[in-house]
Amino acid sequence: MKPFVVPATAKSWVDVAANSDFPIQNLPFGLAAPKGRDETMVVAIGDYALDLLILLDNGLIPESEFPLLESFIDMDREKLSALRQWVFGLLTVDDPRLRDNKTVWKKALIPIADANLQVPIPPVAFVDFYSGVHHARNVGQMFRPQGDPLLPNYKWIPIGYNGRANTVVVSGTEIIRPRVQTKAPDVEEPAWGPSRELDFELEMGYYIGTGSEMGRRVTVTKAEEHMLGLVLVNDWSARDGQRWEYQPLGPFLAKSFATTISPWIVTLDALAPFRIEGMDQDPTPLPHLTRTPNSHFDIELRVSLQSAKMKKPQTIAKSNMKHLYWSIAQQVAHQTSNGTPLDMGDLYATGTISGEGQDEAGSMLELSWKGDRPIKLDETGESRTFLEDGDTVILEGWGQGDGFRVGFGQASGKVKSVTK
């Protein structure tokens, strides 16, 4: 399908700050539960969440085309694109339909701080890939210093695992430090207790809007047709527990306790201006994984950390989605290549996205290099190797356009101590 791309020169009658993540060129979708109202789909514009149910009830959105706006249940990529195009028409500066109806827009425009944003789609399933090649290489150098940092299969298949869907939480949810089983190298028996190496992971994620049949694969060329859009993902990790449990079957309790996502689904249409070719793939993937042109994205990513003693967060890492080795379309093609079906509401994550530099690492494990290089927090003089109780981690991402940015908002979480 041809994407609906809002011109860079387009303006809204809603006041939008120049550095806002949510100009009229974006118009991402979320799910809100404002006080005293039912859950409703919303669109972000500037500092506001636009209640689509109110527009529907007042005849500004055609009920014949979009009858169910209480959730994403009736949405696929094509329908979401059509809804975004309709909302764009209502918000553009020279369209009077909503602009001149003050009674309606005063009720429909909810300050984002008051919108009570939810997980946009409670996922049916959650899959986490390992497609950030610099992260994979860093981890390999740490734990296999005498060998090849990338295992032989890395450049042939997108590595991934099935995670826990019911611990996906929205930005702002506190993260309780998990208890895990660990084993120090100098003792005979493992121990069980609060993780001492709690970490974040800087990732992107994407929601599935159209499912597929069991036994039938989705090709790389068709994969994006099944997607609704992208979100930020922090797949929290207990590194000490992971180190003990991951062999031979991979992540389990060290990863399943919490995954934070941003509340706004940014459509592929909005991200069209930021498409890029991506890094070279050598060796050439097998034919069923051969990627299509411009299937990667130039999305700036930033990680900030604020301790309980700090008054404002400090940027500790910057990266970019372009550092993914495998595109999101290739990931879906691989997931379904054995006949695994897709379901509406599936959430997929890319894996940790690190750049080549030390300050581009997408995890504390890399930033502190297993704890050997503590990170200094300038405001208070504190240092960190892994996350401590009271620390807040904030992920942000955006594509930079000509005079506008298409952003994702934040995926934030504060670490809370174990109390039971």
Annotated active-site residue in 135, 226, 296, 334: 135
Q: What local confidence, expressed as pLDDT, does residue 248 receive?
A: 85
Query: Which domain CATH number covers 185?
Result: 3.90.850.10
Q: By residue range, what is the domain housing residue 156?
A: 126-416
Structure tokens at 272: 């069209």
Asked whether the predicted pLDDT for residue 82 surpasses 80, the reply is yes
Residues 6+ apart with CB under 8 A from 57: none
Q: Please tell me whether residues 167 and 309 are part of one structural domain.
A: yes
Q: Which amino acid is at 224?
A: E
Asked whether the predicted pLDDT for residue 101 surpasses 80, the reply is yes
Q: Please tell me whether residues 77 and 151 are part of one structural domain.
A: no
Q: Please tell me whether residues 256 and 359 are part of one structural domain.
A: yes
Q: Which residues are registered as beta bridge partners of 230?
A: 206, 266
Q: Do 29 and 85 form a contact (C-beta atoms < 8 A)?
A: no
3-state secondary structure of 32: strand
Structure tokens at 311: 């008054």
Over residues 351-392, the pLDDT tens digits come to 999 999 999 999 999 999 999 999 999 999 999 999 999 999
Structure tokens at 395: 């992920």
Q: Please tell me whether residues 296 and 161 are part of one structural domain.
A: yes
Q: Which amino acid is at 112?
A: I
Q: Which residues are registered as beta bridge partners of 110?
A: 49
Catalytic site residue 135?
A: yes
Residues 6+ apart with CB under 8 A from 383: 374, 375, 376, 377
On whether residue 4 sits in a domain, the answer given is: no
Asked whether the predicted pLDDT for residue 420 surpasses 70, the reply is no
Give me the residue label for tokens 């610099």: 134
The bridge status of strand 275-276 relative to strand 296-297 is antiparallel
Q: Do 61 and 82 form a contact (C-beta atoms < 8 A)?
A: no
Q: Rounded to 5 degrees, what are φ and ψ at 206?
A: -145, 145
On whether residue 156 sits in a domain, the answer given is: yes
Number of domains within the chain: 2
Structure tokens at 274: 């930021």
Across the chain, mean pLDDT equals 97
On whether residue 9 sits in a domain, the answer given is: no
Over residues 10-47, the pLDDT tens digits come to 999 999 999 999 999 999 999 999 999 999 999 999 99
CA distance 293 to 220: 11
Q: Do 240 and 255 form a contact (C-beta atoms < 8 A)?
A: no
On whether residue 22 sits in a domain, the answer given is: no
Q: How confident is the model at residue 147 (pLDDT cuts 50, 70, 90)?
A: confident
Query: Which domain CATH number covers 101?
Result: 2.30.30.230
3-state secondary structure of 225: helix
Q: Rounded to 5 degrees, what are φ and ψ at 172?
A: 100, -10
